[in-house]
Amino acid sequence: MSSEHRISIEDVAHVAKLARLHLSDEEILRFTTQLADVLDHASDIESLNTEEVEPTSHPYPLSNVFRSDDPGPTLSSEEALSQGPEVEDGQFRVPPILIRSQQSGAAAMRQ
Amino acid sequence: MRQGALTLARHVRSGEMSAVEVVEESLAQIKAKDGRISAFNAVLGERSRRRAAEIDRQVALGEDPGPLAGIPVALKDNICASGVPTTCSSRILEGWLPPYDATVVTRLQAAGAVIIGKTNMDEFAMGSSTEASATGPTRNPCDLSRVPGGSSGGSAAAVAAGMTPLALGSDTGGSIRQPAALCGVVGAKPTYGRVSRYGLVAFASSLDQIGPIAADVADAALALEVIASHDPMDSTSIPDPCESLLAAVERDVGGMRVGLITDLLGEGIDHDVTERVEAAARALEESGAEVQEVSVPSISYGLSAYYLIAPAEASSNLARYDGVRYGLRVKGENTEKMNVATRTAGFGDEVKRRIMLGTFALSVGYYDAYYKKAQKVRTLVIRDFEAAYRSCDVLLAPTSPSVAFAFGERIDDPMSMYYSDVCTIPSSLAGHPAISVPFGTGAGGLPVGVQILAPPLREADMFAAAAALERA
């Protein structure tokens, strides 16, 4: 991409958040330089005229891939759960999804 | 191993040799050599001995165990075998035991093969040197101070060192062919969809393909014949049957039209490699093929398109590693913090870099400029190949721009590492088959691989040309 689109430290920090990764300040700096290198190299495709070109998402087009709707053997619930880091009552257990901060939580409780 | 898979399987089927002997030989080779090479993440000693004994019982009963009777096969550690640790050389999958067999494993075992172990790789198949492995690098058996290539470096090194006659790898942008070239063995990537990916841990779904690594072309043909099949468990699997590849290996190449890809010679390709490719062109000519120069202009944009498309798909595929259902979990006070802590501790640098690159290429404001543009370039690459194949049956190119490089030489400079795939990426983008065959040596006496590329479903022509090079 042209230089005004060069990936910034802020972009890298934002993308890390989207990708659920925690990066140290040193890592953010290093990744910014390395990703900018790759994107600079990739900017050579900008010059190609692709106006009339359809994108390829799959190199060997197959359409309507169906099988007959017959029930067959599947993993049992025990097998599916057997690799879970934490399991309870036939389900995967995770930490709380929502956590109230103490004040706003108390406020929410009163409503 | 002193003999190839084809010969060993014949001996086991005829009862001349036992499967137990073959497997013990492989285990002994691993024990003697793998301390130095580190090709294996896991060696399945007990399991393979039991399996070999079963095959010998079948032979004793007059049954035919199949074309790979008693043949040890090493699996890259991103291919699932039920109950066998599958780590992708990543901390995030440490301790995970897949609950099912990949289709390739089912097919190998039905043909009499013995799964001997799991091989080291760049984490999640992202890399070209096997240095990006959480368990440490594999060494090149030809020169222990050099990388074996990657990402299927463990599989290539295991075959090159004679620890197993056959191995499977996976190839997304060259991960079977490049390590095969750097270790001096044969590596084939079939047409996209030729081999089922059911049970292959996904990296970039529109590119990933499983294929064989072997000491010679006939063994690679034998292994691919066994694993190529239509599979209802993989919706990208091609229904068309595969021609006999072992028959193709015997075929005369007289009159075959071979195109030497001029865009992949000269600048950016080491002189010793170019020399070997030109020698391969002369050798094919001497075998009766008609060699002409051909240009596939848009392939020079392949590297750029690939390093946008593959990371984009990877960023989506690797979202599943969230610490909820399998693999590593690092505690956090809520689910989001647990996800972040798990992924931060579980993924290595290269995987993080690709996830970041892919997430960026897919993000609002950049999707059209990066991801969609790269997909359009992919169409141009396919069109240029189609044009080349109007006048050629197969194409000839280097596999890697250089012979095996030293540890540490490229690992801190991602762009120079990515350049290792410049010759293999074009056929990956197009979904076409390609094979790397050793063809002499270059700098430092290290092996050079040359690549035969073919149109989709034309693996037979590719194997015929590869075998002609091997005979030359």
Q: Spell out the alpha helix ranges (H) of chain A.
A: 9-18, 25-42, 77-81, 102-110
* pLDDT band at residue A5 using 50, 70 and 90 as cut-offs: low
CATH number of A38's domain: 1.10.20.60
The verdict on a CB contact (< 8 Å) between B236 and A62 is yes
Closest among B278, B214, B303, B259 to B395, alpha carbons compared: B259
Residue A54 placed within a domain? no
pLDDT digits (tens, 9 = 90+) for B349-380: 999 999 999 999 999 888 999 999 999 999 99
Average pLDDT, chain A: 86
Within 10 A of B468 (CB to CB), how many other CB atoms are there? 26
Contacts of A56 in chain B (CB under 8 A): 375-376, 378-379, 382
Q: What is the pLDDT of residue A6?
A: 82
Domains of chain B: 5-249 (3.90.1300.10)
Q: Which of A5, A7, A44 sits opposite B301 (nearest CB)?
A: A44
Average pLDDT, chain B: 97
Q: Which of A15, A24, A49 is the best residue to mutate to test the B interface, defined by the most B CB atoms within 10 Å of its own CB? A: A15
Please state the rounded mean pLDDT for residues B312-321. 98
Q: Which of A11, A94, A98 is the best residue to mutate to test the B interface, defined by the most B CB atoms within 10 Å of its own CB? A: A94
How far away is chain A from the Cα of B47, in angstroms, using its nearest Cα? 21
pLDDT digits (tens, 9 = 90+) for B202-257: 999 999 999 999 999 999 999 999 999 999 999 999 999 999 999 999 999 999 99
A85 and chain B in contact, CB less than 8 A: yes
Coil, helix or strand for B441? Answer: strand
**Number of independent structural domains in chain A:** 2
The verdict on a CB contact (< 8 Å) between A42 and B363 is no
Please state the rounded mean pLDDT for residues B407-427. 95
Q: B52-74 as b/e, with b when 16 or more CB fall inside 10 Å?
A: beebbebbeeeeebbbbbbbbbb
Q: Which of B307, B339, B374 sits opposite A20 (nearest CB)?
A: B339
Please state the rounded mean pLDDT for residues B103-119. 98
Residue A58 placed within a domain? no
Distances (CA, A) of B426 to A15, B237, B378, B395: 28, 21, 9, 12
| Contact between residue B283 and residue B327 where contact means Cβ atoms under 8 Å apart | no
Q: What is the pLDDT of residue B275?
A: 98
Residue A72 placed within a domain? no
Same domain, A43 and A84: no
Q: What is the pLDDT of residue A108?
A: 47
Position A3 pLDDT exceeds 50:
no
Sort strands B114-119 and B209-214 into parallel, antiparallel or unpaired. Answer: unpaired
Q: Which of B106, B320, B350, B360 is the best residue to mutate to test the A interface, defined by the most A CB atoms within 10 Å of its own CB? A: B360
Closest among A88, A90, A108 to A98, alpha carbons compared: A108
Position A111 pLDDT exceeds 60:
no
Q: Which A-chain residues 34-73 have CB contacts (< 8 A) with chain B?
A: 34-35, 37-39, 41-46, 48, 50, 53-60, 62, 65, 67
Six-digit token string for A30: 């290093």
Range of the domain at A100: 77-111
Position A107 pLDDT exceeds 80:
no
Contacts of B238 in chain A (CB under 8 A): 60, 62
The verdict on a CB contact (< 8 Å) between B303 and A95 is no
Q: Which of A35, A56, A95 sits opposite B378 (nearest CB)?
A: A56
The Cα–Cα gap between B82 and B249 comes to: 33
Sort strands B394-398 and B257-261 into parallel, antiparallel or unpaired. Answer: parallel
The Cα–Cα gap between B13 and B35 comes to: 32
Contacts of B324 in chain A (CB under 8 A): 84-85, 92, 94
Lowest mean pLDDT among A96-110, B162-176, B267-281, B350-364: A96-110
The verdict on a CB contact (< 8 Å) between B382 and A65 is no
Contacts of B297 in chain A (CB under 8 A): none
Residue A98 placed within a domain? yes
Contacts of B376 in chain A (CB under 8 A): 48, 50, 53-56
Residue A16 placed within a domain? yes
The Cα–Cα gap between B155 and B159 comes to: 6
Torsion sign, CA atoms A71, A72, A77, A81: negative
Please state the rounded mean pLDDT for residues B188-212. 98
Tell the residue number behind the tokens 């609950």, with chain if given.
B99
Six-digit token string for B229: 């099949």
Residue A64 placed within a domain? no
Q: Which of B303, B353, B415 sits opposite A31 (nearest CB)?
A: B353
The verdict on a CB contact (< 8 Å) between A38 and B307 is yes
| Contact between residue B452 and residue B466 where contact means Cβ atoms under 8 Å apart | yes
Tell the residue number behind the tokens 């992919």, with chain if given.
B378
Residue A1 placed within a domain? yes
% of residues, chain B, pLDDT over 70: 100
CA angle A56, B437, B133 (to 5 degrees): 70
pTM to 2 decimal places: 0.96
Please state the rounded mean pLDDT for residues A1-28. 87
Contacts of A34 in chain B (CB under 8 A): 353, 414-415
A22 and chain B in contact, CB less than 8 A: yes
Contacts of B325 in chain A (CB under 8 A): 83-84, 92
Please state the rounded mean pLDDT for residues A18-26. 97
| Contact between residue B367 and residue B381 where contact means Cβ atoms under 8 Å apart | no
* pLDDT band at residue A106 using 50, 70 and 90 as cut-offs: very low
| Contact between residue B338 and residue A95 where contact means Cβ atoms under 8 Å apart | yes
A32 and chain B in contact, CB less than 8 A: no
The Cα–Cα gap between B345 and B330 comes to: 8
Residue A66 placed within a domain? no
Lowest mean pLDDT among A62-66, B295-299, B398-402: A62-66
Six-digit token string for B354: 């690709």
